[in-house]
Amino acid sequence: MPASQPRSRARDRNNVLNRAEFLSLNQPLKGNQESRSSGRKQSGQAGAAGAQNSNPKERRQSQQLPEEDCMQLNPSFKGIAFNSLLAIDICMSKRLGVCANRASSWGGARSMINLLGITGHGIPWIAGTLICLVKSSTLAGQEVLMNLLLALLLDIMIVAGLQKLAKRKGPYDINPGLLDYLTMDTYAFPAGHASRAAMLSKFFLNHLVLAIPLRILLVLWALCVGFSRVMIGRHHITDVLSGFVFGYLQFRLVELMWMSSNTCQMLISIW
């Protein structure tokens, strides 16, 4: 043992790395280690503080994201069917909008289609009904005309209310006309011209004595007015079909609210 100790000391003295100028190579830098360890500690503390200070609402949203993604990737059958029908409706309505603008395939017939649409507008019908009511001298005629005026006013109010609720726009970006603004017919669903045409045709078929050719022409007129709105790009196909349904329902409502001759005479005398 005493002999081995001097030998080891001699080896240490002879070792080049034990000299003063090489000591820094053998020993790690304590300052760097301390700075690195302190930096890691500070970053760990900052991460922990950030996790603690994070908003609970954000944590809940991050936990809900996988579930929402799964719901979007696995929609219900009703959602798939509804979206598919909606896409078909939009595609077919755009294809049938042959008079949507001057550059369309039937752009030259746009003026004629607009004229056909005016025949189903509410303002001309209300004005014509008032003129006929003033000139009418029979009680039966006044009764029919007063109930027709009631039907037209109900149609404008019901369609305007439904359009405000749905707020569906047409297949093309077409601004409504002046007459449309007067009757508050500014949205697409349901089609006001279609509901009015269906209601008027059903009303005349029930309360006027018409020959068979005239009855057929009346039905064809209602169909042409409805689908002319698709041709000029103002409404979808489903808007027109729903307008026909609402027009029939409005006719049934007017039949339930039918004003008698005495009531009509009282209203006319007040007016």
Q: What are the distances in angstroms from CA 75 to CA 19, 78, 83, 161, 257?
A: 76, 8, 11, 31, 44
Catalytic residue among 121, 193, 207, 236: 193
Treating both helix axes as pointing N-terminal to C-terminal, what angle do 192-207 and 237-256 enclose, rounded to 10 degrees? 40
- Helix/strand/coil for 196: helix
One-letter-per-residue 3-state SS of 98-109: CCCCCCCCCHHH
- Helix/strand/coil for 254: helix
Known catalytic residue at 207? no
- Helix/strand/coil for 138: coil
CA-nearest of 158, 142, 165, 163 to 262 is 142
Burial of 104 (0-12, 13-18, 19+ CB in 10 A): middle
> In this structure, are residues 117 and 123 in contact, taking their beta carbons and an 8 Å threshold?
no
User: d(Cα 243, Cα 193) in Å, to the nearest integer?
Assistant: 8
> In this structure, are residues 233 and 141 in contact, taking their beta carbons and an 8 Å threshold?
no
Known catalytic residue at 193? yes
* CA end-to-end span of the chain: 135
User: d(Cα 98, Cα 171) in Å, to the nearest integer?
Assistant: 12
Catalytic residue among 121, 207, 235, 236: 235
Residue listed under structure tokens 């209203």: 267
Catalytic residues: 193, 235
